Amino acid sequence: MNGTITLVVLVFGVVIYLYLSQRGRLSDLLRRLEMAEREREKAIDHLDSLSRSAARELDLVHRQLRRRAFDLHDLFTTSGEIRSISSLHEFLSSFMLTLIGHMRCTSAALFLPVDQETSVFTLQYEKGLHLGNRNRFSFTRDSELYRRLSSGSGVVPLSGVEPDPAWAEETRPLRDVGLVAAVPLVGREKLLGAAALGPRLDGEPYRDRDWELLSILLSQVSVTLENALLFERLNHSYQGTIQALVATIDAKDPSTVGHTQRTSRLATKVAEKMGLEGERLEMFTLGTLLHDIGKIGLPESILRRSVTTPINPGQLRLIQQHPMRGAEILGKIPFLGPAVDLARHHHERYDGLGYPDGLKGEGISLEARILAVADSYEAMTAPRKYKERRSPAKAVKEIRECAGTQFDPTVVEVLVQVLDEEKDWELPADSDPADSTPRVLSERRGSAAFN
Ligand SMILES: [Fe+2]
């Protein structure tokens, strides 16, 4: 029994000893656990703070990206709109508004060469500047400004005065009106011009982001400007070609000088009233100017023959070939393709008795039906040497009598409306009285004149 008690006491003593000996370590362990917990909580707080901060940053970046995407979309949309404007002047005016709007600046200027050959760039468009004498604002290809714009380094600062007195003097007029930077408009091969900007509306300096946007805008505009200049040049050459062809017709038959242009103006007014517009109307006007080009294949013995000389069947056959000859000539020139129909079919009749194809009614294009009426009215009222000149009233009466047979009756009525609305419709002056040999070409049935 005593042994058992002794054993219990001994075990209890050992337990007490172990408890007392580990107590310090347990306390230390608990303390460490508490510290670890606090560290963990602090880490969680820190992570939470970091994640909130990261969320704010992401939101900011997201907003900036959205703004940038919006700006870029806006720029490209604007550029697209610019490309749809055919007139170079309208295009450049639009560009100035775009420049001011996107750069949020107080003023802007655009320098372009006076023409493709000149070496002088002048201020041709501006917004928000008070210029006075515009002639002060120009630069040449041998100027320092041109060199810096062509150097490929982008923005050329104008504000602040550099030590170089020549540069300071050269750019003084630009600084005097508040322009702070110039940027090049670079084409595929050369400098097309330069845009210059006044300060920002909010007074802040321009940032890199502004120049990036401007660079994108200008690259778009440069392409459009270069295409527009090319178009202008081609159009100039195109108009010159047409004028040369019309002059050729007039030279071949001097008694009808001016007839083509008058017919074209009248026919175009009728066409507008009948709803033709845009490119279709432009092509129609072109066709009216060239519809008689086939006459250049006719011998002068026919065109200048006397009224007392009757026309023979061979001559009549030749005359009736002029629409086909005209269509053949125009068909070989790609950009004159739309005029082929008018050249070939302007002598078709509404009742199918015309030539060369005997087309009838709406089988004849609306354009050819309009031209047939306008051409006949103009020929009847014009001073020709081979026929009696009709008064406008008499010509209208005759044309109305031919409505439904020779002419489309709807077109006839529209022509009459146009003549009523344009009371002062230009009547051609009498031709040179010195050349008074009368001529008559009654080569086709029901036709009022050889037009
Ligand atoms: Fe003709």
Residues 307-327 pLDDT 10s: 567 788 888 898 899 999 999
User: If we measure between CA atoms, which residue out of 370, 376, 194 comes closest to residue 269?
Assistant: 370
C-alpha 42 – ligand 1 centre gap (Å): 97
Domains 88-231 and 253-421 share a fold: no
Greatest mean pLDDT among 185-199, 211-225, 346-360:
346-360
Distance 322 CA to ligand 1 centre (A): 7
Residue-level pLDDT at 307: 58
More confident residue, 363 or 72: 363
Q: Are 409 and 372 in contact (CB under 8 A)?
A: no
What CATH number matches the domain at 253-421, 3.20.20.70, 1.10.3210.10, 2.90.10.10, 1.20.950.20? 1.10.3210.10
- Which pLDDT value is given to residue 448? 37
pLDDT, position 364: 97
Q: What is the mean pLDDT of the chain?
A: 80
- The first and second tokens of residue 409, run together, are 């009756």
Separation of CA 375 and ligand 1 centre (Å):
8
* Mean pLDDT calculated for residue range 67-76: 57
Arithmetic mean of pLDDT, 152-162 = 81
The correct CATH number of 88-231 out of 3.40.50.300, 3.30.450.40, 3.40.50.1100, 3.50.50.60 is 3.30.450.40
Residues in the chain: 451
Distance 451 CA to ligand 1 centre (A): 5
- The pLDDT of residue 43 is 79
Q: Please state the rounded mean pLDDT for residues 209-215.
A: 84
User: Is residue 190 scored above 50 in pLDDT?
Assistant: yes
The least confident of 230-234, 336-340, 399-403, 433-437 is 433-437
CB 307 within 8 A of CB 439: yes
Q: Tell me, in angstroms, the distance from the centre of ligand 1 to residue 346's CA.
A: 6
**pLDDT given at position 108:** 92
Give 51 Cα–ligand 1 centroid separation in angstroms: 84
How many Å lie between the centroid of ligand 1 and the Cα of residue 179? 59
CA 280 to chain centre: 17
Q: What is the pLDDT of residues 235-274, one digit of tens each?
A: 777 778 888 888 887 777 766 678 888 999 999 999 999 9
Q: Percent of the chain scored above 90 by pLDDT?
A: 28
Residue 236 Cα to ligand 1 middle (Å): 27
Tell me what pLDDT residue 369 has. 98
Confidence of residue 449 (pLDDT cuts 50, 70, 90): very low
pLDDT of 159 reads 79
pLDDT attached to residue 70: 57
CB-CB contact of 137 with 131 (8 Å): yes
CA of 33 to the centre of ligand 1 (A): 109
Q: What ranges make up the beta strands (E) of 82-187?
A: 108-113, 120-127, 138-140, 156-157, 181-186
CA distance 191 to 89: 19
Q: Is 140 helix (H, G, I), strand (E, B) or coil?
A: strand
Higher-confidence residue of 166 and 83: namely 166
Lowest average pLDDT, out of 11-20, 53-62, 354-363, 425-434, goes to: 425-434
Residue 57 has pLDDT above 60, yes or no: yes
Enter the pTM of the model.
0.55
CA of 432 to the centre of ligand 1 (A): 22
Place of tokens 């083509």: 260
The Å distance, Cα 333 to ligand 1 centre, comes to 19
- Average of per-residue pLDDT across 409-414: 97
- Residue scoring higher pLDDT (92 or 149): 149
Model pLDDT for residues 290-312, shown as the tens digit of each residue: 999 898 878 877 777 665 677 88
Distance, CA 150 to ligand 1 centroid (Å)?
A: 55
Mean pLDDT across 19-48: 79
When comparing pLDDT for 115 and 356, which is higher? 356
Residue 89 has a pLDDT of 78
What is the mean pLDDT of the segment spanning 13-17? Answer: 71
Q: Given its phi and psi angles, is residue 93 left (phi above 0), alpha (psi -120 to 50 degrees) or beta? A: alpha
* 362 CA → ligand 1 middle, Å: 20
Distance from the CA of 26 to the center of ligand 1, in angstroms?
119
* Domain coordinates in residue numbering, the chain: 88-231, 253-421
Using the mean position of ligand 1's atoms as its centre, give its distance from the Cα of residue 138 in Å. Answer: 52
CA of 267 to the centre of ligand 1 (A): 14
Give residue 338 CA to ligand 1 midpoint distance, Å: 17
Residue 349's pLDDT band (cuts 50, 70, 90)? very high
Gap from CA of 359 to ligand 1 centroid (Å): 16
Give the mean model confidence (pLDDT) for residues 135-152. Answer: 87
pLDDT band at 439 (very low <50, low <70, confident <90, very high): very low
Q: How far is CA 391 from the centre of its chain?
A: 43
Residue 14 has what pLDDT?
72
